[in-house]
A and B are shown apart, each in its own frame.
Chain A
Amino acid sequence: MLYIAIAALMVLTAILFWTAGSLFGQYRLLHSRGYLDIGRLHELRSFSLRYQRFDMPSPDSIQPWMTYRYVNTIFGLPSHYVSQKLGITDSRYPNLVIGTLPLNNLKAALRAYLASQKKTQ
Chain B
Amino acid sequence: MDIVSIVLSYLLLYKYIALFTIAFLGAFLLPVPSSITLAAASAFASQGYFNFYLVFLVALAGNLAGDNLGYFLASRYGQRFLERIGFNHILRLRNYHALEEYVKTYPGSLIYFSRFLTEVDPAVNVLAGLVGIPWRTYFLYDFVGEFSYVALYSLTGYLLGNQWENNAGFFTKSGLVMLLLGAVIMLIQGTLFYHRVKKKKPQI
Identify whether the interface residues of A are mostly helix, strand, loop, or mixed.
helix
What number of A residues sit within 8 Å (CB to CB) of B? 39
B47's partner among A8, A12, A73 (CB-CB below 8 A) is A73
B170: nearest residue on chain A (CB-CB)? A26
Please state if A48 and B183 are interface contacts (CB–CB under 8 Å). Answer: no
Which B positions have Cβ atoms within 8 angstroms of A?
A: 1, 5-6, 8-9, 12-13, 44, 46-49, 52, 155, 158-163, 167, 169-170, 173-174, 176-177, 180-181, 183-184, 187-188, 190-191, 194
Which residues on the B side are within 8 Å of A108 (C-beta)?
A: none
Task: Give the interface SS of chain B, mostly helix, strand, loop or mixed.
Answer: helix
Whether, in the assembled complex, A20 has its beta carbon less than 8 Å from a beta carbon of chain B, the answer is yes
Q: How distant is the Cα of A66 from the Cα of B47 in the complex, in angstroms? A: 14
Asked whether A20 lies within 8 Å of B5 as measured between CB atoms, the reply is: no
| Pair A64/B5 contact, Cβ less than 8 Å | yes
A12–B184 contact, CB under 8 A? yes
Q: How far is the CB of A36 from chain B (nearest CB, A)?
A: 6
Inter-chain contact B160/A35, CB cutoff 8 Å: yes
Q: Are A2 and B162 touching (Cβ within 8 A)?
A: no
**Can you report 16 residue pairs joining A to B where beta carbons are below 8 Å apart?**
A1-B194, A5-B187, A12-B180, A23-B173, A26-B173, A48-B46, A48-B158, A51-B161, A52-B46, A65-B5, A65-B6, A66-B8, A70-B44, A74-B48, A74-B49, A95-B13
